[in-house]
């Protein structure tokens, strides 16, 4: 048989590489601006489009889907072709994939600052973009499987198992978490409400970390590390075990994001139990990576690329040990809602995803440009400043997390909170927030140096757009052929492998989601809980638009420190009309689940205009545009109709009188503000958000008085 000649497509790899670097710098810069706003709110530059609540999602989306996303495609397109000894299935699909993905990111960069958001973390993009993501993801899948089908290599290497699992699971996660009912071109309501919506979101959120930030990177690690170190993979058996164990167990762990909420206890416990079981499978990847370097440690001393890999793998090991520890409810009680979580995710993101990406870029760009890296010194500088950046970032954030977590739980002997004012804890950790932005600056500086280094590298070489290669075509399999093991057989059957992976991830999905989504007794209803009035509904949408839930949670956990601080702990039945849920995941400010009636309307008005008037030292930005912008009431009818479709019991025909109800309530609030010498027209947005804030958590209070 004659070897066939063919060409690897390096241009698409290069394109994804460029996108990775550019979006990386943008995403991290936005992160830095957001971080600085946490001690100097004026850094929002006085306008709504660059205020924390709107750019925090921009930061997370940019670094996850733009930086890491493009890096994944870069790594996959490079390694897949070589592992399969075939060019990508279709250059056209590659190109559609590339430009489609960039377009999606650009649309995110436009819509998120405009406040167009679903409020689901890491899934903020509105429904038209969700559809675009689905289409582009399918394009990627066709391109990948097309390449697999025309391969010249009988068996699929472990890296490709990870790529397949990534593809199929992200597809499932994205589709299920995007069940939204469109209200208008850029507004939708989540189909699920309250605790069900929370479960779906964190099943998604957790597994986006698993299958977007972890599995594709493990796949890339399995290709690039042995290449970089020129060493064989330590253990094939360990690869098999940890691959299947990882994808099976990971999918169950989502509920650990919802400990001490109204999620049923059995679901919480399952989340904890599976999180603990996740330690070994996660470490399997790290061990296999580090032991692959056995006999090559002398190279690590000189080779900056391997240094990046080692720190990256170590950061992965630390983060995947810390994660299970944080999911133990006793630890979670202190760590959740604090900067501890921010530290945790950044060890993973900066260390594991960032450093692996940098290593791959440093390794791959000189190769496709047929040259040497422009400056090893600069790369070395990048390594050290990056590592220092991670330390300067993580250590202060751990410190801040412990400090705040413990301060908020402390009582005096007379049984009252030692720090009843949440703000005291915020002010205490401001120095730590300053430190972390210094760490972030270091890290970003390293990336900029890398960008320069890579540009110079590209300039001194010439892109080999089509790299020649040859391999024997696959001969038909002889009938008597034996693979040795069942897994070896599976490795040459891509479709079966994909289906097996799909089944494995669907088990945990069904066991956890189905009972909560279908059995109504899991969410006891409360008669006193009524749908929002039209004005409150509009106010709620402003709350979503401004991204308030990025800093304020809306769920009181059953702890003495929380019921004393905020009021009665939250009940599942209180959230049945919350499409979407707004529990949040971080308390930069206090919880708002029982905010209604705590302060007067005038307090809220002044506080939104300039928080420092009512809470001296507050780091909340001014929301003065709410005072001047007029509430758009043309959407009320569509919103009421959409909510009714989702099961919220608005009377038939209510949409027709909704706006007159809205006016009436707005006038009452404006009149009440007038008694405190605040002159504001009743059609301003601030009236709606005050109405919403004053409603929060009051249904149960009303119930209590009624019972008395």
Q: Per the annotation, where are the binding residues?
A: 59, 206, 256-257, 344, 346
* Smallest gap from residue 590 Cβ to other proteins (A): 12
Give, to the nearest 10 degrees, the angle between helix 355-368 and helix 304-327: 150
Asked if residue 99 binds other proteins (CB under 8 A), the reply is no
In angstroms, the CA 556 to CA 563 distance is 7
Q: Quick one: which of 184, 380, 421, 628 contacts other proteins (CB under 8 A)?
A: 421
* Smallest gap from residue 322 Cβ to other proteins (A): 15
Q: Quick one: which of 7, 82, 90, 702 contacts other proteins (CB under 8 A)?
A: 82
Asked if residue 599 binds other proteins (CB under 8 A), the reply is yes
φ, ψ at 8 (rounded to 5°): -80, 140
Q: Which residue number, 169 or 615, has a Cβ lying nearer to other proteins?
A: 615
Q: Which residue number, 3 or 420, has a Cβ lying nearer to other proteins?
A: 420
Can you point out the beta strands (E) in 378-500?
466-471
Closest residue by Cα to residue 154 from 469, 501, 489, 479: 489
Q: Which residue number, 96 or 238, has a Cβ lying nearer to other proteins?
A: 238
Q: Quick one: which of 194, 226, 317, 573 contacts other proteins (CB under 8 A)?
A: 226
Which residues pair with residue 7 across a beta bridge? 468
* Smallest gap from residue 444 Cβ to other proteins (A): 33
Determine the Cα angle at 685 with ends 643 and 541, to 5°. Answer: 30
Q: Which residue number, 82 or 456, has a Cβ lying nearer to other proteins?
A: 82
Annotated binding site for heme b: 59, 344, 346
Calculate the CA 53 to chain-centre distance: 15
Asked if residue 270 binds other proteins (CB under 8 A), the reply is yes
CB 254 within 8 A of CB 173: no
Segment contacting other proteins by CB under 8 A, of 379-387, 445-453, 556-564, 584-592: 556-564
* Smallest gap from residue 469 Cβ to other proteins (A): 9
Tokens of 643: 């909510």
Cβ neighbours of 568 (radius 10 Å): 16
Segment contacting other proteins by CB under 8 A, of 219-227, 512-520, 526-534, 649-657: 219-227
Q: Quick one: which of 29, 269, 403, 641 contacts other proteins (CB under 8 A)?
A: 269
Q: Which residue number, 116 or 556, has a Cβ lying nearer to other proteins?
A: 556
Determine the Cα angle at 341 with ends 340 and 342, to 5°. Answer: 90
Q: Which residue number, 491 or 541, has a Cβ lying nearer to other proteins?
A: 491
Calculate the CA 203 to chain-centre distance: 11
Annotated binding site for Cu cation: 206, 256-257
* Smallest gap from residue 604 Cβ to other proteins (A): 9
CB 463 within 8 A of CB 10: yes
Asked if residue 427 binds other proteins (CB under 8 A), the reply is no
CA 260, 551, 24, 444 torsion-angle sign: negative
Site for other proteins in 308-347 (CB under 8 A): 329
Segment contacting other proteins by CB under 8 A, of 59-67, 153-161, 380-388, 685-693: 153-161
* Smallest gap from residue 245 Cβ to other proteins (A): 8
In angstroms, the CA 209 to CA 67 distance is 14
Segment contacting other proteins by CB under 8 A, of 172-180, 262-270, 624-632, 639-647: 262-270
Write the DSSP assignment of 46-96 as a string of letters. Answer: TSGGGSHHHHHHHHHHIIIIIIIHHHHHHHHHHHHHHHHTS--S-HHHHHH
Segment contacting other proteins by CB under 8 A, of 181-189, 537-545, 601-609, 649-657: 601-609
Q: Which residue number, 245 or 637, has a Cβ lying nearer to other proteins?
A: 245
Cβ burial, residue 708 (10 Å; 0-12/13-18/19+): exposed
CB 535 within 8 A of CB 665: yes
With a CB cutoff of 8 Å and minimum separation 6, the contacts of 322 are 344, 347
SS3 state of residue 7:
strand
Asked if residue 414 binds other proteins (CB under 8 A), the reply is yes
Q: Quick one: which of 493, 530, 560, 664 contacts other proteins (CB under 8 A)?
A: 560
Q: Which residue number, 385 or 592, has a Cβ lying nearer to other proteins?
A: 592
Closest residue by Cα to residue 516 from 272, 248, 267: 267
# of chain residues touching other proteins (CB under 8 A) = 72
Asked if residue 241 binds other proteins (CB under 8 A), the reply is yes
Radius of gyration (C-alpha) of the chain in whole angstroms:
26
Q: Quick one: which of 3, 676, 681, 704 contacts other proteins (CB under 8 A)?
A: 676
Element of type H or E holding 187: strand 187-190
Site for other proteins in 272-291 (CB under 8 A): 272-274, 276-281, 283-284, 287, 291
With a CB cutoff of 8 Å and minimum separation 6, the contacts of 583 are 198, 258, 261, 549, 553, 554, 555
Site for other proteins in 616-645 (CB under 8 A): 616
Q: Which residue number, 420 or 649, has a Cβ lying nearer to other proteins?
A: 420
Binding mask 562-581 for other proteins (x = CB under 8 A): -xxx---x------------
Cis status, amide bond into 580, omega within 30 of 0: yes
Asked if residue 440 binds other proteins (CB under 8 A), the reply is no
Tokens of 651: 């009377």
Which residues pair with residue 9 across a beta bridge? 466
Asked if residue 659 binds other proteins (CB under 8 A), the reply is no
Q: Give the length of the chain.
A: 708
In angstroms, the CA 349 to CA 102 distance is 21
SS3 state of residue 313:
helix
Q: Which residue number, 172 or 296, has a Cβ lying nearer to other proteins?
A: 296
Give, to the nearest 10 degrees, the angle between helix 158-176 and helix 494-518: 30
Asked if residue 524 binds other proteins (CB under 8 A), the reply is no
* Smallest gap from residue 511 Cβ to other proteins (A): 13
Asked if residue 147 binds other proteins (CB under 8 A), the reply is no
* Smallest gap from residue 26 Cβ to other proteins (A): 33
CA 439, 346, 238, 357 torsion-angle sign: negative
Q: Quick one: which of 3, 473, 524, 558 contacts other proteins (CB under 8 A)?
A: 558
Asked if residue 598 binds other proteins (CB under 8 A), the reply is yes
């Amino acid at each position: 048989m004659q070897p066939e000649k063919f060409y690897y497509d390096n241009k698409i790899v290069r394109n994804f590489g460029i996108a990775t670097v550019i979006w990386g710098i943008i995403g991290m810069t936005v992160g830095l601006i957001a971080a600085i706003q946490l001690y100097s709110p004026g850094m929002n530059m006085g306008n709504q489009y660059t205020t924390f609540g709107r750019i925090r999602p921009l930061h997370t989306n940019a670094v996850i889907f733009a930086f890491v996303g493009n890096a994944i495609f870069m790594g996959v397109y490079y390694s897949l072709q070589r592992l399969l000894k075939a060019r990508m299935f279709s250059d056209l699909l590659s190109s559609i994939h590339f430009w489609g993905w960039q377009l999606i990111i650009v649309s995110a960069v436009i819509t998120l600052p405009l406040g167009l958001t679903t409020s689901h973390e890491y899934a903020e993009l509105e429904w038209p973009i969700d559809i675009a993501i689905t289409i582009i993801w399918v394009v990627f899948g066709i391109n990948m499987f097309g390449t697999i089908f025309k391969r010249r290599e009988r068996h699929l290497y472990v890296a490709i198992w990870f790529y397949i699992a990534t593809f199929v699971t992200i597809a499932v996660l994205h589709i299920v978490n995007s069940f939204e009912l469109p209200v208008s071109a850029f507004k939708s309501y989540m189909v699920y409400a309250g605790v069900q919506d929370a479960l779906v979101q964190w099943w998604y959120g957790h597994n986006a970390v698993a299958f977007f930030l972890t599995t594709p990177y493990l796949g890339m690690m399995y290709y690039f590390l042995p290449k970089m170190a020129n060493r064989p993979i330590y253990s094939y058996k360990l690869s098999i075990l940890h691959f299947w164990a990882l994808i099976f167990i990971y999918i169950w762990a989502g509920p650990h994001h919802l400990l001490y909420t109204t999620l049923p206890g059995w679901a919480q416990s399952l989340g904890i139990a599976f999180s603990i079981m996740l330690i070994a499978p996660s470490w399997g990847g790290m061990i296999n990576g580090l032991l692959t370097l056995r006999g090559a440690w002398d190279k690590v001393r000189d080779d900056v690329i391997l240094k990046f890999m080692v720190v990256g793998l170590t950061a992965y090991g630390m983060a995947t040990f810390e994660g299970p520890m944080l999911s133990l409810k006793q630890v979670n009680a202190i760590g959740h809602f604090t900067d501890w979580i921010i530290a945790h995710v950044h060890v993973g993101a900066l260390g594991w995803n960032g450093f692996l990406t940098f290593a791959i870029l440093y390794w791959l760009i000189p190769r496709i440009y047929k040259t040497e890296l422009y400056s090893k010194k600069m790369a070395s500088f990048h390594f050290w400043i990056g590592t220092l950046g991670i330390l300067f970032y993580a250590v202060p954030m751990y410190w801040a997390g412990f400090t705040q977590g413990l301060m908020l739980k402390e009582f005096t002997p007379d049984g009252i909170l030692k720090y009843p004012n949440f703000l005291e804890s915020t002010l205490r950790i401001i120095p730590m927030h300053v430190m972390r932005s210094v760490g972030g600056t270091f890290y970003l500086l390293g990336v900029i140096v890398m960008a320069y280094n890579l540009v110079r590298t590209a300039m001194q070489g010439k892109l080999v757009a089509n790299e020649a290669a040859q391999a024997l075509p696959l001969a038909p399999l002889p009938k008597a052929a034996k693979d040795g093991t069942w897994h070896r057989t599976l490795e040459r059957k891509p479709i079966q492998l994909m289906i097996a992976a799909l089944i494995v991830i669907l088990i945990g999905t069904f066991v956890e989601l189905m009972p909560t989504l279908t059995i109504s007794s899991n969410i006891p209803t409360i008669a006193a809980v009524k749908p929002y009035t039209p004005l409150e509904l509009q106010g709620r949408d402003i709350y979503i638009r401004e991204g308030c839930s990025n800093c304020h949670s809306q769920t009181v956990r059953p702890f003495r420190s929380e019921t004393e601080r905020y009021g009665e702990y939250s009940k599942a039945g209180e959230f049945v009309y919350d499409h979407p849920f707004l529990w949040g995941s971080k308390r930069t400010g206090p919880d708002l689940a029982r905010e209604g009636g705590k302060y007067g309307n005038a307090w809220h008005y002044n506080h939104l205009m300039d928080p420092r008037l009512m809470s001296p030292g507050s780091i909340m930005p001014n929301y003065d545009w709410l005072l001047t912008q007029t509430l758009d009431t043309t959407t009320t009818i569509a919103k009421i109709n959409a909510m009714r479709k989702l099961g919220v019991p608005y009377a038939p025909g209510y949409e027709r009188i909704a706006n007159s109800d809205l006016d009436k309530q707005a006038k009452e609030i404006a009149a009440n503000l007038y008694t405190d010498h605040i002159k504001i027209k009743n059609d301003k947005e601030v009236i709606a958000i005050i109405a919403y804030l004053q409603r929060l958590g009051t249904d149960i209070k009303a119930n209590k008085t009624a019972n008395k």
